[in-house]
């Protein structure tokens, strides 16, 4: 606890050196659109918890200014675009709300961009399609996963030398389609041939038939670019049907809940990782993990880390403001941020409103349920 407070105070002091001006004491509201129900609920709960923790830390450490309290006004959207827009309009109408943060789905962010433009700043915590940020009003703290996916696919292909590869892709998700296309290009450049591309939908739950289809092509390796439920389900179905080749996943496999759900079939499946308490061991990451564990009785995951980053970015921008903050002033302050200074990644630069990943970490689950850095099997 003492270690956590020291780090929070240090963060606040670091912010304090960048500007002498301050906003007046009082409560400042951030509108938070959550998807804590519906098909995205598992991730939605994590994003929200990370954001709640960040808001509490910002207030406790006077990170914005002495006596400035940051509170979240949370509205449920259930992953639905219409409800998200309705919630955003309510936030815009409430003049006490200075900034907003939202969205797991890129399509919903694109729907909200014209709604918020010129009215209220929006920091995206989850969606990962390229081109979402539109400064000075829209920012994203989630590093684009495409480069990590591509690098992971190339790393595995170079190490394992598969001659044939089959791909799974979410047909109803443009971001995953783009991620798969980039990864396939990188793998093809290593000499591997694509033998099957199998589409699944985000709402699918039975993957026995798609797994049979992939195995029918007899690939040396299978690479999966889908949302969480299909990704985990496909791996379980492939292993249940006896597939022994290499499987490559993506970052949706990182949460501990997925290990608890699927277990042994995930062992040895490499995937890129942005955050995990077991792998990210910076002082900020350790303090965040301990605080999260204490608050919610379980470890944080990559989603809670992203919710956490969104709120810290808003607080950081508010810290540099003078006098009573306005939405326009905050939008301008956000546009001047070049990094999220308090982060759990060991560095998080921002370019053109888009946060970027630092380095590449490829991990896999072990039989004991631990995440370790991946190395090619001997």
Partner 1 sequence: MQLLLEQVVNGCAIGSLYGLFAIGFGLVFATLGILNAAHGTYASFAAIAGYYAATSAGLPFIASTSVGVAAGAALAVMVDQVAFQPLRHRKAGMIGALITSIAFWMILDRLAGLATGEQSLSFPAGTYPGGTWMVGSLPLPQMQVVAIVSLIVVAAGVHWLIAHSRLGAAMRAVGWNEAAAQIAGVNPRLVILATAALAGATSALAGVLAGISTNNVSASLGEGMLLKGFAAVVVGGYEDVRGAAIAGLGLGIAEVLSAQYISTSMRDAITYALLLGFLVLRPRGLFGRVSFVRA
Kindly tell me which residue out of 9, 16, 37, 111 binds partner 1, with binding defined by CB under 8 A.
37
Interface with partner 1 includes 307 (CB under 8 A)?
no
Q: How far apart are CA 211 and CA 178, in angstroms?
A: 22
Contacts of 58 (CB under 8 A, 6+ apart): 64, 70, 311, 312, 315
Shortest distance, CB of residue 244 to partner 1, whole angstroms?
14
Residue 158 to residues 178, 187, 247, Cα–Cα distance (Å): 21, 8, 14
User: Contact region for partner 1 (CB under 8 A) — 123-131, 256-264, 324-332, 346-354?
Assistant: 256-264
Among 261, 268, 335, 358, binds partner 1 (CB under 8 A): 261
Considering beta carbons, is residue 107 or 136 the nearer one to partner 1? 107
Is residue 365 classed as helix, strand or coil in its secondary structure? strand
> Nearest approach, Cβ of 237 to partner 1 (angstroms)?
8
The 8-class DSSP code of residue 320 comes to T
Residues of span 38-57 touching partner 1 by CB under 8 A: 38-39, 41-42, 44-45
Give every strand in the sheet of 68-76, ordered side by side. 68-76, 26-34, 97-102, 122-124, 138-140, 354-355, 350-351
Least separation in angstroms between CB 214 and partner 1? 11
Which residue has tokens 């970490």? 361
Across the chain, the runs of DSSP E, i.e. the strands, are: 26-34, 68-76, 97-102, 122-124, 138-140, 164-170, 193-200, 221-225, 246-248, 271-272, 350-351, 354-355, 362-365, 371-373
- Strand partners of residue 57: none
Q: Which of 200, 253, 314, 363 binds partner 1 (CB under 8 A)?
A: 200
Stretch that binds partner 1, among 125-133, 158-166, 204-212, 321-329 (CB under 8 A): 204-212
Candidate residues 81, 92, 171, 195; the one interacting with partner 1 per rule CB under 8 A: 171
**Any contact of residue 208 with partner 1 (CB under 8 A)?**
yes
Q: Pick out residues in 211-240 that bind partner 1 (CB under 8 A).
A: 212-213, 216, 229, 232-233, 236, 240
Of 8, 28, 36, 106, the one binding partner 1 by CB under 8 A: 36
Output the smallest distance, CB 178 to partner 1, in A.
16
Q: Which of 80, 126, 76, 75 is nearest to 97 (CA)?
A: 75
Cβ closest to partner 1, residue 242 vs residue 359 = 242
Instruction: In angstroms, give the least distance from the CB of 131 to partner 1.
Output: 23
Residue of the chain from 67, 114, 131, 263 that contacts partner 1 (CB under 8 A): 263
With contact defined as beta carbons under 8 Å apart, do 312 and 58 qualify?
yes
d(CA 132, CA 139): 8
Contacts of 345 (CB under 8 A, 6+ apart): 274, 275, 280, 282, 285, 305, 357, 358
Size of the site for partner 1 (CB under 8 A): 36
291 phi-psi bin (left φ>0, alpha ψ -120 to 50, beta other): alpha
207 binding partner 1? (CB under 8 A): yes
From the CB of 230, what's the least distance to partner 1, in Å?
A: 10
Q: Does 205 bind partner 1 (CB under 8 A)?
A: yes
Determine the Cα angle at 155 with ends 150 and 159, to 5°: 150
Residue from 257, 283, 290, 362 touching partner 1 (CB under 8 A): that is 257
Nearer CB in complex with partner 1: 15/236: 236
**Contact positions vs partner 1 (CB under 8 A):** 36-39, 41-42, 44-45, 171-172, 198-201, 203, 205-210, 212-213, 216, 229, 232-233, 236, 240-242, 257, 261-264
């Amino acid at each position: 606890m003492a270690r956590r407070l020291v780090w929070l105070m240090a963060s606040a002091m670091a912010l304090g050196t960048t500007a002498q001006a301050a906003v007046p004491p009082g409560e400042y509201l951030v509108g938070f659109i959550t998807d804590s129900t519906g098909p995205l609920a598992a991730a939605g709960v994590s994003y929200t918890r990370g954001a709640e923790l960040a808001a509490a830390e910002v207030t406790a450490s006077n990170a914005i200014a002495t006596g400035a309290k940051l509170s979240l006004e949370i509205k449920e959207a259930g992953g639905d675009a219409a409800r998200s827009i309705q919630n955003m309009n309510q936030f815009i109408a409430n003049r006490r709300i200075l900034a907003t943060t939202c969205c797991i789905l890129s399509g919903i962010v694109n729907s909200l961009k014209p709604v918020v433009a010129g009215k209220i700043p929006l920091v995206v915590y989850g969606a990962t399609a390229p081109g979402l940020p539109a400064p000075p009003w829209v920012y994203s703290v989630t590093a684009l996963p495409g480069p990590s996916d591509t690098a992971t696919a190339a790393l595995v292909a170079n190490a394992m030398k598969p001659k044939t590869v089959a791909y799974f892709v979410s047909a109803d998700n443009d971001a995953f389609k783009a991620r798969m296309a980039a990864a396939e290009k990188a793998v093809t450049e290593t000499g591997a041939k694509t033998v099957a591309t199998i589409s699944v939908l985000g709402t699918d739950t039975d993957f026995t038939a798609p797994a049979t289809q992939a195995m029918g092509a007899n690939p040396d390796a299978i690479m999966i670019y889908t949302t969480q439920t299909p990704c985990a389900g496909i791996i379980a179905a492939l292993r249940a049907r006896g597939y022994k080749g290499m499987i490559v996943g993506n970052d949706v496999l990182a949460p501990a809940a997925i290990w608890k759900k699927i277990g042994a079939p995930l062992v040895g499946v490499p995937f890129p990782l942005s955050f995990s308490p077991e792998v990210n061991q910076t002082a900020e990451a350790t303090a965040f993990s301990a605080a999260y564990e204490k608050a919610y009785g379980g470890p944080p995951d990559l989603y809670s880390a992203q919710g956490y980053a969104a709120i810290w970015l808003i607080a950081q921008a508010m810290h540099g403001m003078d006098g009573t903050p306005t939405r326009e002033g905050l939008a301008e302050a956000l546009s001047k941020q070049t990094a999220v200074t308090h982060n759990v990644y060991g560095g998080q630069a921002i370019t053109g409103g888009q946060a970027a990943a630092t380095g590449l970490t490829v991990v896999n689950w072990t039989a004991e349920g631990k995440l370790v850095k991946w190395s090619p099997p001997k």
